[in-house]
């Protein structure tokens, strides 16, 4: 499952070298980074975003169109998202942007809300993750690759206007002084949405009897913005890249309801902001050694407020005044969390013979994180605040990788070893109003291998394996000092990850071009960490072992002249509990609940050229997505008629795009309709997604 079915027609044939690239390899003239990744032994799927950037789909939507990936969201723009790869999700999947962890680059941990126009392509690593990312990853990783073109000067902008008062704006610019190699570039974005889409709920009538009604969400707004500026030197004898980047970002969200959309809120809000800087350096030496390094500092601050004094109904009316503040928690909540992070990613590659068959790579990735907070409601009542306790994590991930290319490049093998070292320190508030120092050090090893064999000019096979590890987070180990207790006995999550894939891509001919891939995967996971109830409080425990088996496939065809393109893919996975003891031992062999197991995507695109001028295009794109029904709870609990389930869902989208190009400029206008049939859709039980969305988007690149 490492070969993409996406068309290649939009790839730029003269893409500049990327800023983040550890691979030392000889490539043919005109070969893009996307093509190099696809042809490598890595278990990677590449999603190019040129067309998505002209449409109104966000990164979460674009990612959900790929086989083996599922994206579930709790609402509209700005809502939380659960992204899974081959059945593993949440903290088991990590996100990066140009090699830097997403949360340390100023965007927060949620990939789905990063503006799509700031990203050139997505690279999805399915269960086997290269050492260059320097992270403990159990289920896979997604890297966001930004536009790394440094030639000359350029500007780009986009504006989107959509249903439910949605506005999205992005802008970027760069300038290179050819004589000195001085590069300056900047980007910014702004998002604003009310998310006041209709939902179906139950509201008490005049007699107090709940009746079904359709209402609009009234407290679900989202606003975010950010900017960065980068300056330095490129393509100099002493450095290929030496760049300093500074950034600042902020986002605010209204909280409309509880987790199952039964209780509405009218004043609960959350917000987050970050600022920081990075320094990036890379250089190639005559001895066949290439060095890439990036380091930085990030400050993040999160805020959660629940200080409302009204009890609201679904019409947004204040039904009653609460005896004390707090719609969710009695007494109210005013919490702030501050986090300081410093990190480095150091990579070196050595190819003894330039252009040779052997490459040795080394990666060192230290990360330092400290966190503290404050609960102002407790402080106002002169109660010792457990959030004020300090917490710190120091981690070092080291990797060694050996790559060999044999038989004139037909065979490529990448073998690697990883070493994980983590030291965690925290303070626990005791009943005696004193803080107790806690600490734990963990050390783990991991190994893996990726193999690619070209069976001909159009056919290739891949196989990969990794013994993967995810170390517990500080919150999992030490709790939150309030309702979640410490669990110092937690063991790392581990998994044997296997992938097999076969891919075919033909050259364009009289019948057009064909592409197809098929694959299978297995995830044999142990010691999975879940939050469980222990009487009046909660704690994280290693409670589940699970195995995920799945198959996936994709196929596509593009006509001669690219007038018509058809693509489709499907994923089936079977994720089952293998625990025979403990809390979930009674459910051994049963499918893990609340997870879709069958999804499919399809698209058809018609293309006309030369309508009003020589280099214009008119694109009509239809997309569809199917998710089969799945149970919310364990399949062995309750009678068949009483089981809660999310019904199967089929949605459609239609986009009309007009593009004008010349030698230096591209303009596009798109009219997009998501959820064309206005179907009621749910990713989580009871939490309704937006219905029909109509949006327009304009983009400019010059």
Q: How far apart are CA 120 and CA 387, in angstroms?
A: 39
The two three-digit tokens of residue 96, written as one number: 């990066």
Q: Please say if the pLDDT value at position 382 is more than 60.
A: yes
Mean pLDDT, rounded, for 232-241 = 94
Q: What is the pLDDT of residue 10?
A: 35
Q: Which of 25-29, 150-154, 514-518: highest mean pLDDT?
A: 514-518
Radius of gyration of the chain (CA): 26
pLDDT confidence of residue 397: 97
pLDDT at 420 over 60: yes
Q: What is the pLDDT of residues 564-611, one digit of tens each?
A: 999 999 999 999 999 988 888 899 999 999 999 999 999 999 999 988
Asked if the model's pLDDT at residue 6 lies above 90, the reply is no
Mean pLDDT in residue range 132-150: 91
Q: Decide if pLDDT at 14 tops 50.
A: no
| CA separation for the pair 588, 189 (Å, rounded) | 48
Percent of the chain at pLDDT > 90 equals 73
What pLDDT sits at residue 628?
97
What is residue 19's DSSP assignment? S
What digits encode the pLDDT tens for the residues 280-300? 999 998 888 999 999 999 999
Q: Which has more confidence, 159 or 26?
A: 159
Q: pLDDT class for 326, splitting at 50, 70, 90?
A: very high
pLDDT at 618 over 50: yes
- Decide which of 26 and 111 is more confident: 111
Q: What are the contacts of 533-536 at 24+ separation with CB within 8 A?
A: 534/485
- Evaluate if residue 344 carries a pLDDT over 90: yes
How does residue 183 score in pLDDT terms, banded at 50, 70 and 90?
very high
Q: Considering only residues 614 and 424, tell me which one the structure prediction assigns the higher pLDDT.
A: 424
Of the candidate CATH numbers 3.40.30.10, 2.30.30.90, 2.40.170.20, 1.10.287.110, the domain formed by 33-439+450-701 belongs to: 2.40.170.20
pLDDT of residue 207: 85
Average pLDDT across the chain, whole number: 90
pLDDT score of 392: 92
Position 21 pLDDT exceeds 50: no
Q: Is the pLDDT of residue 362 over 90?
A: yes
pLDDT surpasses 70 at 225: yes
Give yes or no for residue 560 having a pLDDT over 60.
Answer: yes
Tell me what pLDDT residue 463 has.
98
Q: What is the mean pLDDT of residues 310-333?
A: 93
Q: Is the pLDDT of residue 12 over 80?
A: no
Residue 667 pLDDT class (50, 70, 90 cuts): very high
pLDDT value at residue 430: 83
pLDDT of residue 11: 34
Categorize the per-residue pLDDT at 24 as very low, low, confident or very high, splitting at 50, 70 and 90.
Answer: very low
Residue 482 is predicted with a pLDDT of 64
Residue 555: C-alpha distances to residues 504, 566, 623 (Å): 9, 8, 15
**pLDDT over 70 percentage in the chain:** 94
What's residue 39's pLDDT?
92
- pLDDT, position 23: 41
Question: Cα–Cα–Cα angle for 205, 211, 212, nearest 5°?
Answer: 135
Tell me the mean pLDDT in the region 319-340: 93
The DSSP result for 147-173, as a single string, is ----SSEEEEEEEEEETTTEEEEEEEE
- The set of residues, in sequence order, having a beta carbon less than 8 Å from that of 614 and lying 6+ positions away, is none
- For the segment 364-392, the average pLDDT, to the nearest whole number, is 90
Say yes or no to pLDDT of 424 above 50.
yes
- 66 has a pLDDT exceeding 60: yes
Exposure class string for 234-262: b at 16+ Cβ within 10 A, else e: beeeebbbbbebbbbbebbbbbbbeeebe
672: exposed, middle or buried (Cβ count in 10 Å: 0-12, 13-18, 19+): buried
Which has the minimum average pLDDT: 222-226, 533-537, 559-563? 533-537
pLDDT at 469: 96
- What is the spatial distance between Cα 14 and Cα 421, in angstroms, rounded to a whole number? 41
Residue 31 has pLDDT above 90, yes or no: no
Q: What is the pLDDT of residue 3?
A: 36
pLDDT digits (tens, 9 = 90+) for 488-501: 888 999 999 999 99
Q: What residue segments make up the domains of the chain, in order of their start?
A: 33-439+450-701
Q: What is the pLDDT of residue 28?
A: 43
> Who has greater pLDDT, 387 or 27?
387
């Amino acid at each position: 499952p490492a070969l993409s079915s996406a068309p290649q027609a939009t790839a730029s044939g003269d893409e500049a070298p990327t800023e983040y690239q550890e691979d030392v390899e000889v490539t043919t003239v005109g070969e893009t980074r996307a093509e190099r990744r696809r042809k490598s032994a890595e278990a990677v799927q590449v999603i190019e975003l040129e067309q998505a950037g002209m449409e109104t789909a966000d990164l979460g939507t674009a990612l959900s169109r790929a086989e083996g990936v599922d994206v579930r969201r709790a609402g509209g723009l700005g809502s939380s998202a659960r992204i899974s790869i081959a059945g593993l999700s949440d903290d088991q999947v990590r996100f990066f942007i140009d090699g830097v962890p997403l949360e340390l680059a100023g965007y927060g941990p949620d990939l789905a809300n990063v503006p799509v126009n700031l990203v050139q392509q997505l690279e999805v690593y399915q269960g086997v993750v290269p050492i260059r990312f320097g992270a403990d990853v159990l289920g896979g990783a997604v890297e966001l690759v930004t536009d790394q073109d440094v030639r000359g000067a350029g500007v780009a902008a986009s504006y989107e206007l959509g249903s439910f008062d949605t506005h999205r704006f992005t802008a970027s610019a760069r300038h290179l002084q050819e004589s000195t190699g001085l590069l300056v570039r900047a980007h910014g974005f702004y998002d604003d949405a009310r998310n006041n889409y209709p939902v179906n709920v139950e509201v008490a009538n005049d007699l107090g009897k709940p009746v079904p009604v359709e209402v609009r969400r009234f407290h679900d707004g989202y606003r975010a913005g950010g900017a960065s500026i980068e300056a330095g030197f490129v393509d100099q004898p002493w450095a290929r890249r030496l760049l300093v980047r500074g950034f600042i970002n902020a986002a605010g969200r209204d909280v409309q309801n509880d987790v199952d959309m039964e209780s509405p809120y009218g004043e609960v809000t959350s917000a987050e902001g970050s600022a920081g800087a990075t320094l990036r350096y890379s250089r190639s030496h005559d001895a066949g050694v290439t060095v890439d390094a990036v380091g930085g500092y990030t400050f993040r601050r999160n805020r959660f407020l629940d200080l409302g004094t009204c009890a609201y109904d679904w019409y947004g009316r204040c039904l009653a005044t609460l005896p004390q503040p707090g719609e969710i928690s009695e007494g109210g909540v005013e919490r702030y969390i501050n986090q300081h992070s410093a990190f480095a990613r150091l990579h070196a590659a050595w190819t003894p013979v330039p252009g040779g068959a052997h490459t040795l790579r080394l990666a060192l990735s230290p990360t330092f994180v400290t966190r503290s907070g404050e609960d102002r409601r407790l402080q106002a009542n002169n109660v010792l605040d457990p959030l004020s306790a300090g917490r710190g994590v120091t981690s070092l991930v080291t990797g060694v990788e050996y790559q060999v290319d044999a038989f004139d490049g037909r065979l490529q093998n990448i073998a690697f070893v990883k070493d994980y070292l983590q030291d965690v320190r925290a303070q626990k508030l005791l009943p005696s109003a004193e803080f107790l120092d806690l600490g734990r050090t963990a050390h783990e090893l991991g190994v893996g291998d990726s193999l690619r064999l070209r069976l001909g000019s159009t056919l290739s096979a891949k196989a990969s394996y990794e013994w993967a590890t995810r170390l517990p987070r500080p919150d999992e180990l030490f709790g939150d000092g309030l309702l979640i207790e410490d669990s110092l006995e937690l063991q790392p999550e581990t998994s044997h990850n296997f992938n097999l894939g076969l891919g075919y891509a033909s050259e364009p001919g009289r019948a057009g071009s064909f592409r197809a891939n098929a694959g299978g995967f297995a995830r044999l996971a142990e010691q999975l960490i879940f939050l469980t109830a222990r009487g009046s409080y909660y704690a994280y425990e290693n409670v589940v072992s699970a195995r995920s088996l799945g198959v996936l496939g994709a196929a596509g065809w593009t006509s001669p002249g690219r007038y018509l393109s058809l693509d489709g893919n499907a994923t089936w996975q079977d994720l089952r509990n293998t625990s025979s003891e403990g809390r979930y031992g009674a459910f051994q062999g049963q499918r893990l609940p609340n997870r879709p197991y069958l999804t499919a995507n399809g698209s058809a695109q018609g293309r006309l050229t030369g309508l009003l001028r020589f280099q214009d295009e008119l694109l009509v794109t239809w997309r569809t997505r199917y998710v089969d029904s799945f149970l919310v709870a364990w399949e062995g609990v309750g009678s068949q008629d009483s089981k809660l389930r999310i019904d199967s869902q089929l949605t459609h989208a239609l986009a009309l795009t007009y593009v004008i190009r010349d030698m230096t400029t591209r303009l596009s206008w798109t009219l997009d309709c998501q959820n064309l049939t206005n179907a009621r859709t749910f990713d989580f039980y009871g939490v309704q997604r937006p219905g029909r969305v109509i949006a327009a988007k304009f983009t400019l690149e010059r």
